[in-house]
Structure 1
Amino acid sequence: MNFNILLSQTLTNSFLTAAIVLGIVLVLFIEKKLLKNEETVNKWFVAVIYIITFALLISAILGMFALWGYDLALYVENTLNNLALGLADNLGRIISSTVVIVLTFFIMKFSKIAFVKIGRKEGRSQRRRKTVGKLLSSVTRYAVGIIAIVSVLSIWGVNVGPALAGLGIMGLVIGLGAQKFINDLISGFFIIFEQHFDVDDVIEVQGFKGVVTSIGLKTTKIRNWKGDVKILANGDVTNITNYSRNLSMAIVEFGVAYKEDIGKVVEVLTANLPKFKVLYPVIVEEPIVSGVIALNSSSVDIRVIAKTLNEQHYGIERALRQFIKTLLDENGIEIPFPQVVVHQPSPKK
């Protein structure tokens, strides 16, 4: 008889538990439907729905505990008592660990802000300061993190001496098997301290040209004008072309017809090119006419050059071509284009 009662109660509890679970699923489903467009719904309505859902979920969980005779209050009381005893026994360690963790986060945050602030100072060596700042920030973050972990373990009674010795031996073994990794680290130090290039420099490596966005101990990231990012191991960064060391040169070459007076062409350009410099402040010196550079089959080719700020010559070249074309048209100077002359034989008499 007792067995039948127990079986009947178990089945009833199981049925009620399944009903509660289905109810939870239904509540979550309804909530999802009501808040399908949460961004457009009134915020107070959203808050009320969340509160109701939370209350129903808590009630369902408490109901399941009650069904199966679980004394939740006793469990919470025992947990709080054990927690209080644990806090009392380890209060000093907890306070020490908390201080170490807080100091660690403070040092990391302060160092990051300080190093970034150093890189923002304008001047001739701004890129250099920015590069070294990022490197020091990364090294500081890792070093402080490792020291904090070791300190906390030591506070809680862990013997960190053998662990550090083991880590040293493991590091040696890994280093012997990861020579490429060590090579990348060493190359990273040489790149930074010999100043091969800095963050924000424009370089070309392995046929990829772009702006250096990051220099780490192991890798360098370069972003080209299309937004593509190339990540290179520092050991592979060889045969570098750095375009950010000197001023850039805008070079425009064009042809005029053989019938034109070259002296007049040069005179017109020389008289009007200073006006072009006024329009574009990135030009650091007035554009000059280099002279005739080639005698082609249908044109006399002339070159005009202008010094610009670093990597600003692309836009200046496009604008200068348009300026020269307009200038030549206004002065009636012909720019030739390929033509084909067809001679037809005279008809036989």
Structure 2
Amino acid sequence: MATATLLIALYFLLALLIAALSQQLARVVAWVTYLAPRHRRPSHERRETLQGLLASGIKFAAFMAAIVATLALFIRSDTLIWMIGLFSAAFGLGARAFVNDLLAGGSFIFRNTFAIGEKVEMVAGMDRIQGVIERVNVLDTLVRAPTGELFTVPNGEVRVIRNFSRASFSTVKLAFMVAHSDLARALALVEALGVEAVTLLPDLIEPWQVIAGGEMLGNKTQLTVIAKATFAHAASLKLQIATLLQGRVQGAGIELTD
């Protein structure tokens, strides 16, 4: 009996040691990604996400192995295998949510859906959660909302993920009013300026589009400029476009109205 007690203590001490070293072990495993060709290597954020998933998986596996090894001291191996199979079936039915979270979290190791530090919007159950990914493990994902709250999202409940950080561009919309009498001149000037602006504004990806007639108010027409900015530079580009437009339009003698 003393020997069994000593072995049980040894198993769980070993499991605790592996759990304590799980981050270092996960880092060693994630290092293998450096062996891939340079153009296929994951980003730093992706490696951090993999390390979090692997570390939590290593902890779970270590304690499960300790429990099985402990049971093996008192139960015959063939009986133990039968009990594990029966328990797994019962556990899968009774703890379906836990199993779903575990399987979904494990799948994130192979699916590069999001990474730590990226801004996302998740549809989890009936809720929409938007924020920055702070931590990922095999059971849940931690998302920091723009207002400061920290959401813990079970991996098995995530149905749709909108990743803002992987967009190829940001959209800029800018609207202003001109008199009907100046509409033709304003349209021609703004469209021509859109081609020129590509060389003047580094964050403008391509010539902008101009839409007229969004609103009709008396003798005025609304012109809307829609531009593609390099990702995450929409705010600064909007100000640059507004300054450029105002100077050129008013310089041509076209009055901007309210």
User: Which residue is 1:57 aligned to?
Assistant: none
- Asked if structure 2 preserves the Cα contact closer than 8 Å seen for 1:287 and 1:305, the reply is yes
- Asked if structure 2 preserves the Cα contact closer than 8 Å seen for 1:205 and 1:240, the reply is yes
Letter in 1 for 2:192: E
Q: How many residues align?
A: 231
Query: CA 1:194 to 1:271, structure 2 compared with 1: closer, same or farther past 3 Å?
Result: closer
Of 80, 94, 108, which residue of structure 1 is paired with 2:22?
Answer: 108
Query: CA 1:324 to 1:128, structure 2 compared with 1: closer, same or farther past 3 Å?
Result: closer
Cα distance per residue 1:295-315 (max 9 Å; x no partner)? 531224132312423xx1xxx
Cα distance per residue 1:22-44 (max 9 Å; x no partner)? xxxxxxxxxxxxxxxxxxxxxxx
> How many angstroms does 1:242 deviate by?
3.1
3-state SS, counterpart of residue 257 of structure 1: strand
User: Which residue is 1:302 aligned to?
Assistant: 224
Cα distance per residue 1:251-308 (max 9 Å; x no partner)? 223124134322123334543453332xxxxx3x534221234353122413231242
Quick one: distance in 2 between partners of 1:219 and 1:102?
Answer: 21
- Asked if structure 2 preserves the Cα contact closer than 8 Å seen for 1:204 and 1:210, the reply is yes
Query: CA 1:108 to 1:193, structure 2 compared with 1: closer, same or farther past 3 Å?
Result: closer
Mark the structure with the bigger radius of gyration: 1
3-state SS, counterpart of residue 159 of structure 2: coil
What RMSD over aligned residues (CA atoms) do the two structures have, in Å? 4.1
> How many angstroms does 1:176 deviate by?
2.9
3-state SS, counterpart of residue 55 of structure 2: helix
3-state SS, counterpart of residue 239 of structure 1: strand
Query: CA 1:223 to 1:272, structure 2 compared with 1: closer, same or farther past 3 Å?
Result: same
Query: CA 1:295 to 1:204, structure 2 compared with 1: closer, same or farther past 3 Å?
Result: closer
> How many angstroms does 1:330 deviate by?
2.7
User: Which residue is 2:146 aligned to?
Assistant: 225
> How many angstroms does 1:200 deviate by?
3.7
User: Which residue is 2:208 aligned to?
Assistant: 289
Q: How does 1:80-229 map to 2 (within 5 A)?
A: 104=18, 108=22, 110-115=24-29, 125-126=42-43, 127-147=45-65, 159=73, 161=75, 165=80, 168=84, 172-206=89-123, 207-229=128-150
Query: CA 1:146 to 1:273, structure 2 compared with 1: closer, same or farther past 3 Å?
Result: same
Letter in 2 for 1:180: A
Letter in 1 for 2:215: N
- Quick check: 1:257 aligned with 2:182? no
Query: CA 1:209 to 1:172, structure 2 compared with 1: closer, same or farther past 3 Å?
Result: same
Quick one: distance in 2 between partners of 1:202 and 1:181?
Answer: 26
3-state SS, counterpart of residue 187 of structure 1: helix
- Asked if structure 2 preserves the Cα contact closer than 8 Å seen for 1:294 and 1:301, the reply is yes
Quick one: distance in 2 between partners of 1:265 and 1:101?
Answer: 68
Residue identity (%): 20
> How many angstroms does 1:204 deviate by?
1.7
Quick one: distance in 1 between partners of 2:193 and 2:23?
Answer: 60
- Asked if structure 1 preserves the Cα contact closer than 8 Å seen for 2:48 and 2:116, the reply is yes
Quick one: distance in 1 between partners of 2:105 and 2:207?
Answer: 42
Quick one: distance in 1 between partners of 2:103 and 2:129?
Answer: 23
Letter in 1 for 2:131: G
Query: CA 1:246 to 1:175, structure 2 compared with 1: closer, same or farther past 3 Å?
Result: same
> How many angstroms does 1:244 deviate by?
4.0
Cα distance per residue 1:172-209 (max 9 Å; x no partner)? 54433212222222333344434444444433223322
Quick one: distance in 1 between partners of 2:19 and 2:142?
Answer: 27
User: Which residue is 2:156 aligned to?
Assistant: 235
Structure ranking higher in strand proportion: 2
Gaps of 5+ in 1: 1-89, 278-282, 338-349
Structure 1 length-normalised TM = 0.52
- Asked if structure 1 preserves the Cα contact closer than 8 Å seen for 2:104 and 2:156, the reply is yes
Letter in 2 for 1:303: V
Of 263, 271, 280, which residue of structure 1 is paired with 2:196?
Answer: 271
- Asked if structure 2 preserves the Cα contact closer than 8 Å seen for 1:219 and 1:234, the reply is yes
Higher relative contact order structure (alpha carbons within 8 Å, sequence separation ≥ 6): 2
3-state SS, counterpart of residue 184 of structure 1: helix
Gaps of 5+ in 2: none
